[in-house]
Amino acid sequence: MKFIYWSVTLDGSLVKKELLLGNDESIPEPGGSEVLVRIKACGLSDVDVELLQAMGQSRQEIPCGVQIAGIVTKVGSAATRFTVGDDVVGILPMDTPLSGCAEYCIVNENYLVIKPGKVSYRDAASCIGEGMKMYTALRYLGHLEGGETILIMDGARPAGYMGIQLAQGWGAKVITTMSSEEERSLLENMKPELAHVIDTSESKRFAVLNECLEDTGGLGVDCILDNGVNMYPNEIDEEAGQSPKSKRKTDLPEKHKVISALGVGGRWVTSQRDLQLDPPDSRLLQLKGASVCFLNDSIWTLSSHKLGKYLHILRDIMQKLEQGKLRPPIVKSLSLEEVPHKYLDLLASAGCSKIVMEIK
């Protein structure tokens, strides 16, 4: 059985990651409430070594790929939800010992739902991770309601693209940002049309606050979903142009401008795990009666008592895909054998695309 895994080494504070192809002579057997899934597609994303370490998962070999779609080939003695031949889709927990980017994978049946027949394996795998992240951010953290206005940063990227569709489906008015012509083209051709697309490229990165206030008559937006924020603009300005990482930082909105763009009672959902609020920031949030929530889309698989909501989200995403209420992002496909050699290079230039491993 072939599988892909991350080989992680620490050189002081520097983390070095490499994707490798492994090969086991045997196929694992499911036990208890587990099922054996023959993988047909797996959505890929970069491994978050820092987060795994913070959760006590310090390993030199880390499974690759958690967003899976495939066919049940065997069931454990206590498994009751699926039978052999069922098409399934799901997300493996963070502490999974096995890679989803593999020919086969053992999965607890409580992390899976039935894949609708009209939804391809590739579409299911490309949507389930980003769909779960955006559903969590908008519905459970942002408490988004119909008629409200939301700013979703980086709307052309796979997660933002899913978030826009979910928000519009719930009746919200969506403002988003772009920083390239490829992103502009994708966003301006979306149906239904977006309320506004803000250009944040280069010197225009300061436009977010002004244009959000202009679009809302000076009231501010009800909810903001960021993709990281620029906490120290003066330091970043000095670094700009030195590296792609620094360039990415300069594209991010300043935290104080994000808070300023919120309306009264607004909700800010952030992916910035090391966010630090200075006294002026806290005071402004308090004056607005606004709140800040931190997004960790893996929360549903961290505790067994959250599995009910987790399964509800998975089923709803699949149902929306089947009904055409959600459209998958642009997908770039790789074979299992291509992943170690091409994935990291492809990830650096993926742009609006989601990378998926497919087994024909």
Residue-wise pLDDT tens digits, 150-164: 999 999 999 999 999
Confidence of residue 233 (pLDDT cuts 50, 70, 90): low
More confident residue, 49 or 217: 217
DSSP state of 286: H
Structure tokens that stand for 117 in this block: 């027949």
Q: Tell me, what's the pLDDT at 30?
A: 97
Q: Tell me, what's the pLDDT at 249?
A: 52
Confidence of residue 243 (pLDDT cuts 50, 70, 90): very low
Cβ-contact 107, 89 below 8 angstroms? no
Q: Tell me, what's the pLDDT at 253?
A: 86
State residue 104 phi and psi, 5-degree precision: -140, 155
Mean pLDDT of 281-285: 96
Mean residue pLDDT of the chain comes to 90
Mean pLDDT of 29-35: 97
- % of the chain with per-residue pLDDT over 70: 91
Rounded Cα–Cα distance for residues 188 and 204 (Å): 18
Taking the C-alpha atoms of 252, 253, 256 and 257 in order, what is their torsion angle to the nearest 10 degrees?
180
Mean pLDDT of 109-132: 97
Mean pLDDT of 261-275: 95
Confidence of residue 307 (pLDDT cuts 50, 70, 90): confident
- Domains defined for the chain, CATH in brackets: 2-126+300-358 (3.90.180.10), 146-294 (3.40.50.720)
Residue 238 above 80 pLDDT?
no
Q: Tell me, what's the pLDDT at 242?
A: 46
Residue 1 above 70 pLDDT?
yes
Enclosing H/E stretch for 333: strand 330-334
Confidence of residue 244 (pLDDT cuts 50, 70, 90): very low
Find, among 305, 307, 302, the residue nearest to 113 by Cα.
Answer: 307
Q: Tell me, what's the pLDDT at 252?
A: 82
Confidence of residue 47 (pLDDT cuts 50, 70, 90): confident
Confidence of residue 294 (pLDDT cuts 50, 70, 90): very high
Mean pLDDT of 58-79: 93
- % of the chain with per-residue pLDDT over 90: 74
Q: Tell me, what's the pLDDT at 232?
A: 75
Mean pLDDT of 53-64: 77
Rounded Cα–Cα distance for residues 183 and 197 (Å): 10
Structure tokens that stand for 29 in this block: 């057997």
Least-confidence region, from 60-64, 93-97, 181-185, 249-253? 249-253
Number of Cβ within a 10 Å radius of residue 206: 13
SS3 for 196?
Answer: strand
Residue 355 pairs in a beta bridge with: 332
Q: Tell me, what's the pLDDT at 92?
A: 94
Residue 177 pairs in a beta bridge with: 198
Structure tokens that stand for 16 in this block: 């070095």
